[in-house]
Amino acid sequence: MPPDLNSEDLQEDQDLFEHHRFVADKGQTFMRLDKFVTMRIENATRTRVQKGIELGSILVNGKVSKSNYQVKPGDTVTVVLPDPPKNPELIPENIPLDILYEDDELILINKSAGMVVHPGFNNYTGTLVNALLYHIRQLPKYSDDMRPGLVHRIDKDTSGIILIAKSEDALVYLAKQFFDHTINRVYNALVWGDMEKDQGTIRGNLARDLKDRRLSAVFSDENIGKHAVTHYKVLERFGFCTLVECTLETGRTHQIRAHMKHIGHPLFADEAYGGLKIVKHSRLPKYDHFIENLFNIMPRQALHARTLGFIHPKTRKPVHFEVELPEDFRTVLDKIRTYVR
């Protein structure tokens, strides 16, 4: 019998999962059940997966199993939980927005670094969605009550363009373009080190990092995570760091940040992915002090969603939007240019 858990424990499990089914392929090496499930469900933690297993909510070939069960080729693993509880009420808030464009179908926002896109656990106010609900009053809901109108996201500390649908038809039409990877998304990023090539492509499946579930990591096993492709081009070289343009072929969680770390060029000032570790450079005067000053100017990852191109849901014509780098990013680049001359 599973151990007794209080209502908060049950609530956590119900919040964590939707229904899932995984069939271990022929090349599957023997792997613990809790690890197998954790690696395949985005945002899952091993602790919560183990709770689900204890509650009998995770089955192997239709039967309750233990966390240490060794999943083998051909096994069918299913996650079955009750429907999640209703989300808390979203509160419209009078938060200023930098609106790039708006019509009856959609709105584009130049999001500042530091603004969370949508409400989540312990964070139900002060988000872009709260601001949008004040500005628009009514946003369409596709599958998640906490993310009305959203067809994509960018990280809290990433600045730049984000697209929001204002009608049900626009939401479906735009979401399909993101799903088909036909959206043109270009970012500017400042990365550590001198990139070896002027341009290139990074390919590698992304899934939750096994050591820190808040992060994404690159896996060589194509059966783990989601296919991810980032194209990059060098815009400017500074010796100890490089300004690059990144074009997303796919749009996974933390894709650019994880891919750049994977090839040894983490984003400048990106604490989560190793970007606060100063890359040594002996030929520049007072180098460490200079870098620390830059960290103070831009205390967040140097990543900016610069352009967005898509087919308009009403006119069915291609549209393209671009927004300049924010002040903190521009200031850092200007200081680097002066410093390395």
Number of helical (H) and strand (E) elements in the chain, helices listed first? 8, 17
Contact assessment for residue 24 and residue 71, using Cβ atoms and an 8 Å cutoff? yes
Q: Are 52 and 58 in contact (CB under 8 A)?
A: yes
Residue in this structure with the two tokens 């106010």, named with its chain if needed: 125
Residue 108 token pair:
């584009």
Chain center to CA of 158 = 10
> Active-site residue among 13, 75, 155, 328?
155
> 3-class DSSP state for residue 243?
strand
Q: Partners of 244 in the beta sheet?
A: 189, 234
CA angle 264, 155, 326 (to 5 degrees): 90
* Residue 99 in tokens: 């609106």
Whole-number Å distance between alpha carbons of 90 and 108 = 21
* Cβ-proximal residues to 264 (8 Å cutoff; 6+ apart), any chain: 193
Report how far residue 13's alpha carbon sits from residue 186's, in angstroms, rounded to the nearest whole number.
Answer: 37
Helix (H, G, I), strand (E, B) or coil at 168: helix
Residue 155 among the catalytic residues: yes
Q: 122 — alpha (psi -120 to 50), left (phi > 0) or beta?
A: left
Pairing of strands 20-23, 303-311: unpaired
- Token pair, residue 153, equals 């996201």
Question: What amino acid positions are annotated as catalytic residues?
Answer: 155
